[in-house]
Amino acid sequence: MEQQKLPIEIYTEANPNPNSLKFVLSGRVLMPEGSVDFPTAESAHNCPLAVDLFKFDFVRRVFITANFITVTKTSEGELEWFEVIPMIKSLIKGYIEENKPLFIETIKIENIGGNPDEPEVVTKIKVMLDEYIRPAVEQDGGAITFKSFDEGKVTVELQGSCSGCPSSTLTLKAGIENLLKRMVPEVTEVVAENA
């Protein structure tokens, strides 16, 4: 019996990074929790959709979360977003409509919750990132992940459209750092691991 295609609508949303664009799936959930970031074609080996996106020579990064995929393209060359959007939309739409699995094998999604053995200050930082910062970053097509806290310094990883975004340093220092310093007095600095 032939599997029936499930109709899907995809629309795009711009974000502060001019080289990335969100492809939002209306009424669909790709990943019920967590996110995955593929900074290279090699890192995408377990995700056939990302592998296929990287076959476009202009694609430099693919980020997948609940209901959207952020694609980052190269800044060099002649291609503008209006030229490549139809190709990307068509690929994603066909993949989702055919109900293909997102991953070849189960992957480990980073747990964003607290660990009972971690210091209280780390739990506070994670709660602030999850409740106040993550939603805003996701709205712009990216993600932020807590990495460490050491002697007042919080290290985070920026993913998706935030990675390599010209305004990410401003967002990190003027937004995230100021908020964490105000709400968690032990924080003195916030840095990005991949900046």
DSSP string, the chain: -PPPPPP-EEEEE--S-TTEEEEEEET--S-SS--EEESSTGGGTT-HHHHHHHTSTTEEEEEE-SSEEEEEE-SSSS--HHHHHHHHHHHHHHHHHTT--S-SS--PPPP-S--TTS-HHHHHHHHHIIIIIHHHHHHTTEEEEEEEEETTEEEEEEEETTTT-TTHHHIIIIIIIHHHHHH-TT--EEEETT-
Q: Which of 9-13, 59-63, 90-94, 166-170 has the lowest mean pLDDT?
A: 166-170
* Rounded average pLDDT over 163-184: 80
The 10s digit of each residue's pLDDT in 65-105 is 888 999 999 887 678 999 999 999 999 999 988 888 888 87
Kindly indicate whether the domain formed by 120-192 is annotated with CATH number 2.40.110.20.
no
- pLDDT reading at 132 higher than 50: yes
pLDDT over 70 percentage in the chain: 89
What was the pLDDT predicted at 193? 81
CB–CB of 142/36 below 8 Å? no
- The two tokens of residue 21 are 């664009």
What integer pLDDT is reported at residue 3 of this predicted model? 56
pLDDT at 107: 56
Res 115: pLDDT: 61
Per-residue pLDDT band at 112 (split at 50, 70, 90): very low
| pLDDT interval class at 53 (50, 70, 90) | very high
pTM over 0.85: no
Q: What is the mean pLDDT of the chain?
A: 84
Contact 53, 23 (CB under 8 A): no
For the chain, what are the domain ranges?
9-97, 120-192
Residue type (1 letter), 9: E
What CATH number labels 9-97?
A: 3.30.1370.70
pLDDT at position 111 is 46
In the prediction, which pLDDT does 165 show? 74
Nearest alpha-carbon partner for 19 in 63, 81, 92: 81
